Amino acid sequence: MNGMEVVVYLMLLTGCLAASKLHQVIDNGHSFNVTVNDILIFQHTYDNPMLYVGMGRTNFLEFRGNFRIDNDINRRVGLRNYTYQNFNWTDEIDFLMDDHQLRFRITTYTDKSVGIEIINNGIEYDYLWFRVVAEASEQVYGLGEQFSHLNLREFSYTPGKDPELFSVSRSRDRIYPIWTREQGVGRDKHDQVTFFADKMSGAGGDYHTTYFPQATFISSRKYLFHYDWYNYAEFDFSHNQYHEVFIKGEFSNLAIIPRDNMVDLVKSFVADTPLGKMAPLPSWLRDGIILGVQGGTDIMLKRLKTAQDQGVAVNGLWIQDWAGIKNTTFGQRLFWNWKWNPKRYPGLDQKIKDLKAQGVKVLAYINPNLNIEGDLYKTASSQGFVVKNRTGNPYLLDFGEFLCGIVDLTNPAAFNWYKGQIKTNIIDLGLSGWMADFGEYLPVDAVVFDKTLSIEMVHNQWPVLWAKCNRQAVEESGKLGEIVFWMRAGAAHTSNYTTLMWAGDQNVDFSYGDGLPSTIIAATSMGLSGTGLTHFDIGGYTTFGSLGLRRTAELLLRSAEMAVFTPVMRTHEGNQPDFNVQAYSNQYILLQFARLVQIYRMLGNYTTSVIQTCVRDGIPAQRPLVLHYQNDPVAVNAKYQYMYGSDLLIAPVIQANVTSQKVYLPQGEWVFLWNTSTQTAGNKYITVPAPIGQPPVFYQKTSPYSATFNAISKIPLVPPPPTTNQPSTKAPGSSNSGVLTATNSVLLLLTLYTQLMYNFSI
């Protein structure tokens, strides 16, 4: 990043000074309060200071994108004494320590936001803590993409599980680190998969681990807290009377933006901060489903035909193995050398054209790492374009029997070179999109070209540089609005660069920690952080055949029916495709997909309007109920239901063996999507049938899209398969390439480990 951009990022708020002052400092000489729009934000007394500084050292222990982080704090001091000065639109509070001061300069801006600059005059510290006033009943939302908690102060863990069980065995801490990393495998310390992942490599994750943290939150006290920088930080929402924000390193500015309601608060991300906003998604995405397939040209075409023969509208084939494969003792892996491999995909260049003419796009896969056996790595390293280690050699990361260099995205020449590779190897080949994977692994002992920021900040910023590289390749090719790339890693300003997010790697199950339910919170929490266009792997990803973690037909179909009510439908075979039921596994499943994709297509105009609203105002496509019903005590905590746009309420089926489901309807007049004679006023629960293919969905009676919804209600269900109730897990004669996908290489070790354990235990 160059100096210019630092200035842009630090310019916290748009606009200039205000016509009337929004903030007040009430000082009595011994203590003070700071209010913003009459909301008490800071409260300081000698005995309970709002600000602390400390010394210490933070250790980051990394194993393949999983981090154990220990703050070894040896001193923490409250800054109790202060002086206060008032200017016209600005107030300055100097917190005193010996002869030095830490100044809070608080300014009201015309856009009705309050900016707080922190100016350090001589105090040495490694860490800074400050407290924001809280109320016991307050809810907070956001912090980027979360998977376990929507209300970040929620203490009970999941519905359907005994909360007492969790309160004895689980700490009541709600501390969310701002650190991009693998989101974890299992993410629930009670679960067997998490146990193995932790045991093996600390890869199990927890309620707070995420690919996409962002230091912004929205409070039910009607303000937006916006910190626009990349420090390692922790937000502690465990306390009744305050939130404590912990920041490592030099502090940047923050903003408090008060607004009257949740919708206006969310709009502020786009209207009042420089975070940026998303671009419209290509319209072709609404024509059908992207099938994740692999195995070479013939298999790709065979899968397409199989799907089309059963009436599935396929608009894209996503071939992650387009660059070839590499054999390892764990199985086949992708060859991380991001260009077309004609041996694995003969004639792909021509096929891309032929398929495009039939309305089927081809999409690929890349990440910011290069296998040292490939020619791209050789070019990059010979020009000094890869991240270095402390002895000045290329920093090589072991991804499981192969080593990779990391393209140094802080080096403008390397950035441009890699952007050029994306243009020539992908865009010029005619591909219409790709998964831009990873972005979380930059080690903290790496040495990068641009040393303006600490390596820890560069680590957190890396996803944005990665997004920017992809975005510029698309824009400079003149293909914005035609090409889609999707990312899992993120940080503040991701919304300005990525074209789409996805929820990363879920387990192929219904678990709350890491299964289908967690994708709902991923979308809604990200939406309340200013990034409103996302989707997820239909059917999940993380498979552990040897542990019995395999995708069932039921999970696949429940995911697909939920994906109808998201901006994009895309499948993934998973990391062990042979253990998983696939969209193409049998005719029954294909007919289900055909019907669901048909409904998704019928929703096309509605989806377009939902996306337009997101792009214009920053209001997300998938919205938690609290966004529209903030005064409804049930809605504010409803984390597994969401609004898709303002007219559809979705209560996805997120458990196995469900035949009917209880749904909460907030205020309004609602019509049941699958039986329009079921109409009711809201503010109550209702139980509705929920067979596979008809997840509980209601629409607002007054919706201008009623005719579309009514037409959807007429689409009959797919009859159950003739012989068995449960579709078989394997299609007769289906062969699978068995390529392990690239993401989360820790899984490979785990697989081997558990297979060994399994073998030894028999």
CA atoms within 13 A on the CB side of 575: 26
The residues, any chain, with a CB within 8 Å of residue 418's CB and separated by 6 or more, are 368, 380, 385, 407, 409, 469
The single residue among 171, 358, 659, 677 that binds ligand NAG, judged by CB under 6 A, is 677
Out of 65, 142, 276, 624, which residue is the one contacting ligand NAG (CB under 6 A)?
276
Positive/negative CA dihedral, 722, 728, 733, 736:
positive
* 6 near ligand NAG, judged by CB under 6 A: no
H-helix segments, 450-515: 455-476, 494-497
What does the radius of gyration of the chain's CA atoms come to, in whole angstroms? Answer: 26
Count of chain residues binding ligand NAG (CB under 6 A): 33
Site for ligand NAG in 563-622 (CB under 6 A): 602, 604-605
Q: Is 24 a residue that touches ligand NAG (CB under 6 A)?
A: no
Q: Which is nearer to ligand NAG, 160 or 732 (CB)?
A: 160
Asked if 20 touches ligand NAG (CB under 6 A), the answer is: no
- The structure tokens 């049930």 sit at 634
Full DSSP string of 541-573: SB-BGGGTB---HHHHHHHHHHHTTSS--BB--
State yes or no: residue 28 binds ligand NAG (CB under 6 A). Answer: yes
β pairing state of 233-236 and 113-121: unpaired
Nearer to ligand NAG, 51 or 626 (CB): 51
Q: Which uninterrupted H or E stretch holds 685?
A: strand 684-689
Which of 36, 42, 64, 80 is close enough to bind ligand NAG by CB under 6 A? 80
**Least Å from the CB of residue 205 to ligand NAG:** 22
652 closest CA partner among 291, 503, 644: 644
Please name which of 711, 680, 683 lies closest in space to residue 698, comparing C-alpha atoms. 680
Q: In the complex, what is the shortest distance from the CB of residue 636 to ligand NAG, in angstroms, rounded to a whole number?
A: 24
Nearer to ligand NAG, 491 or 635 (CB): 491
Return the number of the residue (198 or 321) whose C-beta is nearest ligand NAG: 321
The rounded Cα 332 to chain-centroid distance in angstroms is 27
Binding residues for ligand NAG restricted to 403-432, rule: CB under 6 A: none
Of the pair 167, 735, the CB lying nearest ligand NAG is at 735
Name the catalytic one among 27, 234, 244, 437. Answer: 437
Q: Does 735 bind ligand NAG (CB under 6 A)?
A: no
Q: Does 675 bind ligand NAG (CB under 6 A)?
A: yes
One of 2, 6, 8, 137 touching ligand NAG (CB under 6 A):
8
Cα distance between residue 441 and residue 201, in whole Å? 15
Whole-number Å distance between alpha carbons of 654 and 536: 14
Q: Which of 43, 139, 315, 543 binds ligand NAG (CB under 6 A)?
A: 43
Q: Which is nearer to ligand NAG, 276 or 439 (CB)?
A: 276
Give least dist CB 17 to ligand NAG, A. Answer: 9
> In one letter, which amino acid is 566?
T
How far apart are CB 172 and ligand NAG at their closest, in Å? 25
Pick the closest to residue 499 from 457, 461, 534 (CA basis): 534
Query: Which residue out of 27, 234, 408, 440 is catalytically annotated?
Result: 440
Q: Does 131 bind ligand NAG (CB under 6 A)?
A: no
Q: Report which of 245, 250, 210, 211 is spatially closest to residue 230, judged by C-alpha positions.
A: 250
**Range in contact with ligand NAG (rule: CB under 6 A) among 29-37, 148-156, 187-195, 228-236:** 29-37
Count of other CB atoms within 10 angstroms of residue 513: 27
394 binds ligand NAG (CB under 6 A): yes
Of residues 281 and 355, the one with the C-beta less far from ligand NAG: 281
Question: Cα-Cα-Cα-Cα dihedral of 537, 543, 549, 555, to 10°?
Answer: 20
Which window, 99-107, 391-399, 622-630, 748-756, contacts ligand NAG (CB under 6 A)? Answer: 391-399
Q: Which of 505, 509, 537, 573 is catalytic?
A: 505
Is 710 a binder of ligand NAG (CB under 6 A)?
no
Site string for ligand NAG, 496-535 (x = CB under 6 A): x---------------------------------------
Minimum distance from residue 723 beta carbon to ligand NAG (Å): 17
Structure tokens at 90: 């600005």
CA separation for the pair 214, 528 (Å, rounded): 11
Provide, rounded to whole angstroms, the least separation between the CB of residue 175 and ligand NAG. 26
Work out whether strand 361-366 and strand 433-436 pair parallel, antiparallel, or are unpaired.
Answer: parallel
Under 8 Å between Cβ of 611 and 533: yes
The window from 288-296, 388-396, 433-441, 625-633 that contacts ligand NAG (CB under 6 A) reads: 388-396
CB of 117 to ligand NAG, least distance (A): 16
26 forms part of the interface with ligand NAG (CB under 6 A)? yes
637, 645 contact by CB (below 8 A): no
By the rule CB under 6 A, 455 interacts with ligand NAG: no
- With respect to ligand NAG, which residue has the nearer C-beta, 86 or 167? 86
3-state secondary structure of 748: helix
Which amino acid, residue 393?
N
396 binds ligand NAG (CB under 6 A): yes
The angle that helices 262-272 and 604-617 make with each other, rounded to 10 degrees, is: 60
Which of residues 658 and 757 has its CB atom nearest to ligand NAG in the complex? 658
CB of 443 to ligand NAG, least distance (A): 10
Catalytic residue flag (residue 482): no
Assess contact for 464 and 494: CB atoms under 8 A. Answer: yes
CB 82 within 8 A of CB 32: yes
Segment interacting with ligand NAG (CB under 6 A) among 63-71, 242-250, 387-395, 630-638: 387-395
Q: Closest by alpha carbon to 78, among 109, 39, 50?
A: 50
Judged by beta carbon, residue 176 or residue 242, the one nearer ligand NAG is 242
Is residue 87 close enough to count as binding ligand NAG by CB under 6 A? yes
Q: Which is nearer to ligand NAG, 167 or 359 (CB)?
A: 359
Please, what's the largest Cα pairwise distance for the chain? 83
In the block, tokens 């210019």 appear at 4
488 binds ligand NAG (CB under 6 A): no
Distance CA 642, CA 630 (A): 13
Q: Which is nearer to ligand NAG, 206 or 476 (CB)?
A: 476
Residue 55 near ligand NAG by CB under 6 A: no
CA distance 236 to 244: 5
324: left (phi over 0), alpha (psi -120 to 50) or beta: left
Q: How far apart are CA 66 and CA 198, in angstroms?
A: 10
Binding mask 286-325 for ligand NAG (x = CB under 6 A): ---------------------------------------x
507 SS3 class: strand
Residue 81 interacts with ligand NAG (CB under 6 A)? yes
DSSP assignment letter at 745 = T
Q: State the alpha helices, DSSP H only, in 621-696.
A: 625-628
Query: Strand 32-36 relative to strand 100-109: parallel, antiparallel, unpaired?
Result: unpaired
437 part of the active site = yes
The answer to whether 327 contacts ligand NAG (rule: CB under 6 A) is: yes
Q: Does 88 bind ligand NAG (CB under 6 A)?
A: yes
Contact 473, 423 (CB under 8 A): yes
| Residue 353 C-beta: closest distance to ligand NAG, Å | 26
Q: Nearer Cβ to ligand NAG, position 327 or 710?
A: 327
From the CB of 668, what's the least distance to ligand NAG, in Å?
17
Give 610: exposed, middle or buried? Use CB within 10 Å, 0-12, 13-18, 19+: buried
* Residues involved in catalysis: 437, 440, 505
Sites of contact with ligand NAG (CB under 6 A)? 8, 26, 28, 31-33, 40, 43, 80-81, 87-88, 274, 276, 325, 327, 389-391, 393-394, 396, 493, 496, 602, 604-605, 656-657, 675, 677-678, 708
